[in-house]
Amino acid sequence: MLSKQIYDVVVVGSGPGGVAAAIEAKKAGADDVLIIERDTELGGILLQCIHNGFGLELLKEDLPGPGYAEHFIKEMLSLHVEVLLNTMVMDITPQRHLFLSSKEHGYVEIEARAIVLAMGCRERTRAQIRIPGMRPNGIFTAGTAQRWVNVEGYMPGKEIVILGSGDIGMIMARRLTFEGAHVERVLEIQSYLSGLSRNLVQCLQDYNIPLQLNHTIKRIMGKNRVEAIEAVQVDEKWNFVPGTEEIIPCDTLLLSVGLIPENELSRKAGVKLDPITSGPYVDETFQTNVPGIFAAGNVVHVYDLVDWVSEAGFSAGKNAAKYAIALRNAEARYTPLVAGKNVRYVVPHKLDKSTLEKEDVRLQMRVTRPIEQPVWVEVHDGENLITRKAERYVRPGEMVTVVLKTKNYADVAKSSKLTIDINPR
């Protein structure tokens, strides 16, 4: 069960950015830090990225994705960050209320003094690059295939063509080859590689998987399952070059055609997005345009290296903690004024304690019912009487006033709430 209704920092997403943010938020002094993950375990997409190459910058070690994730998750858990798994954040308001949905905890609303958005990114799909043809099964994003092969334990294809030379696509080419599938080739519409050259060497060249630059797919064939694709060369304006068509039989088409920051929640919170990056506009503290809402990692813009995502997370987490602590201190400076016995309302509703340090504060109120005899108007903090004033009678039609004096400051400073009661003398 959730331990709090209000958290200092709530982190949405437990990929490298989110975990780093939670770690640094704790280290920077935030008390109640909650991290929310929609999947069954912490780690995000790294858990399916079983290849090496993570951590060289930050840990000086060549780790596989799950190992890199686990390194930071361990640290985070040792700092007593609260974790919610299998939980989807449905909505975030600009006032930093979050609506969460899960089997285990139900549908709940919580508040955060600061939020770090760390939802990562999603893969571009077929429609966004508008590949014509049939719509059979067997067209997957590289990341979906990766989850199947590496986590779920199933092979989504035997004869495979990959469109796009993004890193996940090339890594999946090697991965599927390792597991006995045949990767026919990788097609790239641009005249240059879109992923890292290391992956070109180690994922394609090492296994003689051809890469065709300036090539794309003219159409997809197959009613129920992919049966073939028609590849075609393009000119510099991406027009098909007639006569270069080639029909390639295959049962699977993997797409590795780019990543887009995942910001549907951010929009709901009123976060403004940059149309170029598709991520939030952020300042140097990774704060978005909405005060107290920060964003870190691939949700802001898509990074090359996970190490840099972690670094962004550290920074966002630290700044979120600072914001939350400042807000908490500000909250602590205020004392609510509560209408107690026979008091209908009190103005002001809350009192900035530091004001009382410098000057007297007048409290005005109206009573619920008349008392035609002498009364005390008492201000107390639940245990101790702070001040009181005598009146000969009180009536709803006549406003009652009581003044808190600077000499009351010491008592008020200790209180978390002031209540005003009116009792017969």
Partner 1 sequence: MAEEVNFICTACPQGCSLTVLMENGEVLGVTGNSCKKGLDYAHAETSDPRRMVATTVKIRNGFHPLLPVYTERPVPKPLIPQVLAEIRKVEVEAPVAMKSVVLENVLGTGINVLASRSMPAKG
Partner 2 sequence: MQEQYDYIIIGGGVVGCMIARWLSRYEGKVLLIEKEADVGMGCSSANTAIVHAGYDPLPGSLKARMNVKGNAMWDQLAGELNFAFERRGDYVVAIGDEELPLVHKLMDQGKKNGVPGMVMISGAEMRAREKNINPETSGALWASTGGICDPFQVTVAAGENAVMNGAKVLLNTAFQDFIMEGKRIIGVRTNRGDFLGRWVINSAGIYSDDVMHKAGVRPEFFIKPRKGEYYIFDRADVSIDNVLFPVPSAKGKGILVTTTLHENTIAGPNATIIDDKEDTSTTKEGLAEVAEGALKLVPSLNLRYSIANFVGLRPMGNGPCKTPGVVYNNDYIIEIPEEVQGLVNLGGIESPGLTSAPAIAEEVVDMLRDAGEKLVVKKDWDPIRPPRPRFRNMSHKDRQLLVEMDPRFGQVICRCENITEGEIIAEIHAPIPARTYDAIKRRTWLGTGRCQGGFDMTRVVNILSRELGISPLEVTKRGTGSQYLFRETKRVEG
User: Residues 102-141: x/- map of binding to partner 1 (CB under 8 A)?
Assistant: ----------------------------------------
Instruction: Give the whole-angstrom CA distance, residue 121 versus residue 65.
Output: 16
Contact region with partner 1 (CB under 8 A), list: 47-55, 250-258, 327-335, 342-350: 47-55
CB atoms within 10 A of CB 416: 10
Q: Which is nearer to partner 2, 242 or 397 (CB)?
A: 242
CB 213 within 8 A of CB 258: no
Q: Is 281 in the site for partner 2 (CB under 8 A)?
A: no
Q: Which among 147-155, 199-207, 384-392, 397-405 is the span making contact with partner 2, rule CB under 8 A?
A: 147-155
Q: Which is nearer to partner 2, 119 or 377 (CB)?
A: 119
Q: How many alpha carbons fall within 13 Å on the CB side of residue 208?
A: 1
Under 8 Å between Cβ of 376 and 425: yes
Judge if the upstream peptide bond of residue 348 is cis by omega within 30 degrees of 0: yes
User: Could you tell me how far CA 421 lies from the centroid of its own chain?
Assistant: 45
Task: Determine if 151 is a binding residue for partner 1 (CB under 8 A).
Answer: yes
Nearest to 27 by CA among 73, 78, 68: 78
Q: Among 86, 194, 212, 277, which residue interacts with partner 2 (rule: CB under 8 A)?
A: 86
Is residue 267 within 8 A of residue 299, CB to CB? The reply is no
Which SS3 state, helix, strand or coil, does residue 265 take? helix
Closest CB to partner 2 among residues 66, 317: 66
Min separation Cβ 22 and partner 2, Å = 21
Residue 182 sits in the site that holds partner 1 (CB under 8 A): no
Per rule CB under 8 A, is residue 94 in the interface with partner 1?
Answer: no
Of the chain, the end-to-end C-alpha distance in Å amounts to 47
Give the one residue of 110, 187, 200, 299 binding partner 1; rule: CB under 8 A.
200
Positions of E strands within 228-342: 228-233, 246-249, 252-255, 259-261, 293-295, 334-339
Contact between 88 and partner 2 per CB under 8 A:
yes
Query: Closest CB to partner 2 among 30 and 117?
Result: 117
Kindly tell me which residue out of 178, 225, 247, 423 binds partner 1, with binding defined by CB under 8 A.
178
Number of residues interacting with partner 1: please give it, by CB under 8 A.
Answer: 32
Q: Which one of 6, 56, 77, 155 is in contact with partner 2 (CB under 8 A)?
A: 155
Query: Considering only residues 215-234, where is the footprint of partner 2 by CB under 8 A?
Result: 218-221, 223-225
CA dist 103 and 88 (Å) reads: 10
User: Taking a C-beta distance cutoff of 8 angstroms, is the pair 305, 311 a contact?
Assistant: no
- Supply 64's token pair: 């596989």
Q: Should residue 103 be labelled a site residue for partner 2 when binding is judged by CB under 8 A? A: yes
Options 3, 197, 208, 384; binder of partner 1; rule CB under 8 A: 197
Asked if 374 and 393 count as a contact pair (C-beta separation under 8 A), the reply is yes
Query: Can you tell me the distance from the alpha carbon of 31 to that of 49, in angstroms, rounded to the nearest whole number?
Result: 32
- Fill in the amino acid letter for 101: S
Residue 140 pairs in a beta bridge with: 254
The residues that touch partner 2, with contacts defined as CB under 8 A, are 38, 86, 88, 90-91, 99, 101-109, 122-123, 125-128, 130, 132-137, 140-141, 143-144, 147-150, 152-158, 179-180, 218-221, 223-225, 240, 251, 264, 267
Interface ranges with partner 1 (CB under 8 A) = 40-41, 47, 50-53, 62-67, 69-70, 150-153, 175, 178-179, 196-198, 200-202, 205-206, 304-305
